[in-house]
């Protein structure tokens, strides 16, 4: 087992201190970002306008070259001015001077009209989902300002989200999906906790553990769920689905909890395991885990414990 200088479970007060410390840190960070935006507001607005102008210009060029090609098709002419010839053997229209390198040439398929109407559907404003980060990079402020805060700033100035303006999904919807996923997983954790609670004498949800490895620095980790009875302590790590399984993480948690148990002379058997909400068989991660959808079909404690022990992480 890894050697620790100390390991202990935070009490409620220490937990609150830890949470407010992080909240404070987050707020300080946000205040700093907003200061950077304020100090660079003129430049950021300028870059927005330049960026949008370039975008529209590119779009017009794409359309122009599309229509220029259609004109050539109708006139059966090449870029170089030569009349196109239909190559019967190959089934396409080509330029007789294709070998000349001084000009660009064109070829058309026999069903070119269909190709054109397909192509038109794909001509769109070339706007990536991280356009705001691109602007920040141009301003050399991508280390200081987050994409989300920049978009909020633009909107406060009456400058629309460019993705929304040009027919894509609003940028903040893509950015916040990670945050949403995080909240979602908290809900899933609670569902698993609520399911297991009636079966076990003790249940500990989100256990904050402070520890220091020898010659390491102090760290705090949050264990998702620990349920126990007189024989076993089940250390449960909950994941959205099995590709997020992190063996090292659970190894560390197991060592921490085992350390605490040994100190308390707790002789019960510690069983670490993963519970996932979705399981992908194709996943490269073959660690054993329990699928919550299968678990919640079980209605006896004996069967649950059996499942836990059989699928324990080792
Ligand atoms: Zn030509």
pLDDT in tens, 253-301: 999 999 999 999 999 999 999 999 888 776 566 678 999 999 999 999 9
Place of tokens 């945050």: 179
Pinpoint the residues of the chain covered by CATH 3.40.1350.10: 180-310
Indicate if the pLDDT at residue 187 is higher than 70.
yes
Indicate if the pLDDT at residue 21 is higher than 70.
yes
Rounded to two decimals, the pTM is 0.65
Asked whether 48 and 159 are in contact (CB, 8 A), the reply is yes
What is the whole-number distance in angstroms between the Cα of residue 97 and the centre of ligand 1?
5
**pLDDT recorded at residue 283:** 56
Q: What is the pLDDT of residues 104-117, one digit of tens each?
A: 999 999 889 899 98
**pLDDT recorded at residue 122:** 87
Q: Enter the tokens of residue 158.
A: 């009456």
Task: Report d(CA 63, CA 27) in Å as an integer.
Answer: 46
**pLDDT recorded at residue 235:** 98
What is the whole-number distance in angstroms between the Cα of residue 96 and the centre of ligand 1?
7
What is the whole-number distance in angstroms between the Cα of residue 199 and the centre of ligand 1?
79
Percentage, residues of the chain above pLDDT 90: 74
What is the whole-number distance in angstroms between the Cα of residue 107 and the centre of ligand 1?
9
Q: What is the pLDDT of residues 189-235, one digit of tens each?
A: 899 999 999 999 999 998 999 999 998 999 999 999 999 999 999 99
Indicate if the pLDDT at residue 2 is higher than 60.
no
Closest CA to 36 of 163, 151, 142, 118: 142
CATH fold group of domain 180-310: Trna Endonuclease; Chain: A, domain 1 (3.40.1350)
What is the whole-number distance in angstroms between the Cα of residue 56 and the centre of ligand 1?
30
Closest CA to 303 of 225, 224, 196: 196
What is the whole-number distance in angstroms between the Cα of residue 282 and the centre of ligand 1?
50
Closest CA to 272 of 299, 242, 248: 248
Q: Enter the tokens of residue 130.
A: 């991280």
**pLDDT recorded at residue 282:** 62
Task: Tell me the pLDDT of the chain averaged across its residues.
Answer: 91
Asked whether 78 and 95 are in contact (CB, 8 A), the reply is yes
What is the whole-number distance in angstroms between the Cα of residue 103 and the centre of ligand 1?
7
What is the whole-number distance in angstroms between the Cα of residue 93 and the centre of ligand 1?
11
What is the whole-number distance in angstroms between the Cα of residue 98 and the centre of ligand 1?
5
What is the whole-number distance in angstroms between the Cα of residue 120 and the centre of ligand 1?
23
What is the whole-number distance in angstroms between the Cα of residue 118 and the centre of ligand 1?
24
What is the whole-number distance in angstroms between the Cα of residue 110 and the centre of ligand 1?
17
What is the whole-number distance in angstroms between the Cα of residue 121 and the centre of ligand 1?
27
With cut-offs at 50, 70 and 90, classify the pLDDT of residue 121. confident
């Amino acid at each position: 087992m890894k050697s620790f200088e100390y390991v202990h479970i935070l009490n409620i007060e220490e937990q609150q201190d830890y949470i407010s410390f992080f909240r404070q840190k987050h707020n300080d960070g946000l205040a700093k970002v907003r200061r950077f935006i304020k100090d660079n507001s003129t430049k950021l607005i300028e870059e927005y306008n330049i960026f949008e102008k370039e975008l529209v210009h590119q779009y017009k060029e794409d359309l122009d070259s599309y229509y220029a090609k259609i004109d050539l098709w109708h006139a059966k002419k090449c870029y170089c001015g030569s009349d196109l010839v239909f190559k019967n053997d190959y089934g396409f229209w080509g330029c007789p001077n294709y070998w000349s390198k001084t000009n660009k040439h064109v070829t058309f398929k026999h069903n070119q009209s269909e190709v054109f109407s397909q192509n038109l559907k794909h001509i769109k404003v070339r706007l990536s989902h991280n356009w705001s980060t691109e602007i920040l990079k141009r301003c050399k402020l991508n280390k200081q300002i987050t994409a989300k805060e920049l978009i909020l700033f633009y909107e406060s100035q009456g400058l629309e989200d460019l993705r929304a303006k040009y027919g894509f999904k609003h940028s903040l919807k893509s950015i916040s999906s990670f945050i949403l996923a995080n909240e979602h997983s908290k809900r899933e954790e609670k569902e698993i906790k609520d399911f297991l609670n009636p079966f076990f004498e003790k249940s500990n949800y989100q256990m904050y553990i402070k520890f220091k490895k020898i010659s390491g620095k102090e760290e705090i980790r949050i264990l998702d769920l620990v349920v126990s009875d007189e024989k076993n302590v089940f250390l449960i790590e909950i994941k959205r689905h099995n590709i997020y399984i992190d063996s090292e993480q659970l190894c560390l948690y197991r060592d921490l909890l085992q350390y605490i148990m040994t100190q308390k002379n707790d002789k019960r058997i510690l069983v670490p395991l993963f519970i996932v909400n979705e399981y992908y068989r194709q996943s490269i991660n073959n660690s054993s885990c329990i699928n919550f959808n299968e678990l919640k079909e079980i209605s006896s404690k004996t069967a649950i414990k059996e499942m836990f022990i059989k699928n324990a992480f080792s």
